[in-house]
């Protein structure tokens, strides 16, 4: 298992190697919520609305399984790699 320091170094190298602005924007949108303060007061009105909609959707069973999510990510990674943008 890699140390926290090794993981951070690898992530920094990976991010530094990305030239596609859209990929960087997507990563930013996905990572920032984990780093930012974790309470509803730090969310914008739009983020609070999106959170409420997501909770409602989950309560209504509108979710995907983890296996479906992994398959979707594998498909995205394959498509991304085929563009020749990744290392």
Residues 19-78 have pLDDT tens digits of 988 888 888 888 877 666 555 567 788 988 998 999 999 999 999 889 998 898 888 888
Residue 33 forms part of a structural domain = no
pLDDT of residue 80: 81
pLDDT of residue 32: 75
DSSP state of 43: S
pLDDT of residue 82: 80
**Domain assignment of residue 50, given as a range:** 42-87
Tell me how far CA of residue 60 lies from CA of 30, 63, 64, in angstroms: 24, 8, 12
Residue 82 forms part of a structural domain = yes
Q: How far apart are the first and last CA of the chain?
A: 23
Place of tokens 């409420």: 52
Residue bearing the bigger pLDDT, 38 or 84: 84
The domain total for the chain is 1
State residue 63 phi and psi, 5-degree precision: -135, 170
DSSP state of 52: H
Q: Is the pLDDT of residue 9 over 70?
A: yes
């Amino acid at each position: 298992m890699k140390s926290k320091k090794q993981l951070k170094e690898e992530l920094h190298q990976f991010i530094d190697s990305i030239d596609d602005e859209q990929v960087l924007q997507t990563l930013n949108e996905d990572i920032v919520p984990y780093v930012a303060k974790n309470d509803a007061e730090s969310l914008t009105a739009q983020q609070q609305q999106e959170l409420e909609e997501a909770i409602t959707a989950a309560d209504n069973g509108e979710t995907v399984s983890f296996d479906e999510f992994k398959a979707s990510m594998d498909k995205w990674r394959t498509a991304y790699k085929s563009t020749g943008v990744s290392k």
